[in-house]
Structure 1
Amino acid sequence: MTLHTVSDVLNRLDRSALRGTPPLLIAVGALRLRVKCSTPLRTELAQYFAEILTGDGPADIEIDILDGQSLDPAPDWIDWARDPGKIGRKDAVHDLADGRLIYKRRTGVTFLQSRAALVAFGPVRDNPSQMINFINTQILNTCLRDGWQICHAAAVTTPDVTLAIAGLSGGGKSTSILRMMDIPGTAFVSNDRLMVRSGNPVPLALGIPKHPRINPGTILHNPRLRPILSADRLAELTAMPAGELWNLEEKYDLIIPDIYGPGRVRLDVPLTDFWVLNWQRDETTPTTVTEVSLDDRPDLLAAIMKSPGPFYEDASGHFLTDRAPLDPAPYLAALQGVRVSEVSGRIDFDALFTVGKRLLGPDG
């Protein structure tokens, strides 16, 4: 049976196991998402999204997660081009007349992305992080259709200031933003995806609710995070050359309430400041934070902009291709009123923390 439509896919899936399963209702800003899945995955997702769960009620987005099902025969998958610098095959797609199937080659999980139904299926129980990403992708897609822009940025906030930090992958934005969480009165907004749109008097920002996945270098630079690692692994990493440590890909989950306590997450905020990390490990000049205009610095804007990826379907029902260019104009419009600064010189997290404390601290 050839897969041409969403109905073709749904007819080959069995969703009966979800009947009677209490859904999870997740609140992000004004959005409400209802997620149906079976235990033990349901318990894991409830723990992950604990701070933004709300009572049952109407939802803007409905998501079904099915364990252990597959499409046989498999569709004709087309590999999705990865971001510059990334290697290996990761995602593949099969376009339908009214939707898209996305296949994760490394895990075997498949996603149905459409306006009619949102379904994850396959070995979902073994891949909870991909279910979290799928849930968060629906928030991102809805915001994009409503005129928000997606930024590749982390962010923290206080009652008066919200600071977003962008940079190329591996540039230190996670390390920087988690250091800012040590400043009294700050709350976590986002680790990697930040939605922005124009507002009055300043633009609005919405964090995508994903806890940080951090590298060992981030942990070593912050004493508060060191208990995440065993004593033996800490000793091994401490002895590692700086360049090797910087490039080490070894991810650890950091659950914000576990480390910083309850009430330290705030997703819906005004946006006042944006720093773009353009510093270097081999630079000898001191770290500086200098205000700039993005109109004059397209190189810095490129570090902020982020493709929605293969899951995004626009308001007219069209999916992106992997070669669709990003348009700077909506970003420049959305960030009007935000104070943008370039971080240059040598990589010095202590120096950056000092500047951040002046901006975000009680006397900032």
Structure 2
Amino acid sequence: MIKKHGGVTEEAKKEYQYWAKHATILTGGEAAYCQIDDQGRIFRAVSMAWPNSTKAPDRYFLPLIHPITNRECPVPSKGWRNPPETMAQLMNQGLIVFGKDETTQPTRKYFLDENEDENLTSIIPFGGSDTSLLEEMGIPFDNPKPIAFADTILRSITKTNDTVLDFFAGSGTTAHAVMKLNAEDGGNRRCISVQLPEPTPEGSAAREARFETIADISRERIRRAGKKILEDEAGKLDGRAEGLDVGFRAYRLVDTNFAKWKADSGLSEDELVGLFADLADSADDHARPEALLTEVLLKLGFSLTEKIETVEVAGLSVFSVADGLVLAYLDEHTQPTLDQLRALVCEEPARLVVLEDAFQGNDELKTNLVQECRTRNVDLWTA
């Protein structure tokens, strides 16, 4: 248009502004860049008002003088966003937009060529919450974030194989949105949801529904959301429901179940004396094998998302990690025979993990296992 009108004329500016506001190929954010300055740069005018709920310091109320009428322009009710020094720099750089006269509050130029990589507008207009949806799902939670809002963010900033981290999971909206989006576009996004076990208020609907903590709500929301997504997708013709992964693992941050690792946890001298007196047992007698496996894998440098299966080898129930890369026997109450341990070694995992307590003090059994592992070039790791 500039070329058409032979320069940055008023006619070129008006024609571009009309086109930008009516072009169907532009999004709302793109259409906002509907002005051209005297240098031919496309920009939008943004407010320079103080953004916080309280008023700005007194010096942020210095009025700007209109360049034509030489009169003071209106100052925002809470002051300017920037101090007088910055406002003076903006003025010298020609970055402030004035109206026809002093009755219009000045704004700032925001150039398109400096913001072409932005994925989201600064304001996403979502109001309300998903209270009715959660009520339908049987999840009591006050003012849950709308899935539509989370969906907008995810579609704008994630690729199909990204991992999304939500440090304040709340009712589990983000995880729900991730699973829903994967179902729609065939993506394989993963979501890590973190939530402190904050107690639900006494007498609240959540407590009456037997949700003791907010974390309990998060887990159950994710569980029910996955079930709902599978049901919704099952009715579609493309048959994608069978391949959808809506499963998840839940972990709690707790102290170690292994006595030898507690020695590194900053215990006092008296506590350490008592600890080493009990080192005959390597693991907590009440710890579930799954909890022991989680600690072992973290110690070995594996992620919490590894493929884990329970398999039976020679009558022993063992964990197979990463398609047999690691085999772990973590039953501290049942002592295996040498033939059973040989069978584990014959599977030729890269690493064999056996709970120290499983030997029940039988040093000969442990020594024989070490020799079997050396023969098959299997790395033995006792926990």
Fold shared, TM-score > 0.5 on shorter chain: no
Q: Structure 1 length normalisation: TM-score? A: 0.29
Q: Structure 2 length normalisation: TM-score? A: 0.28
Task: Name the structure with the higher helix share.
Answer: 2
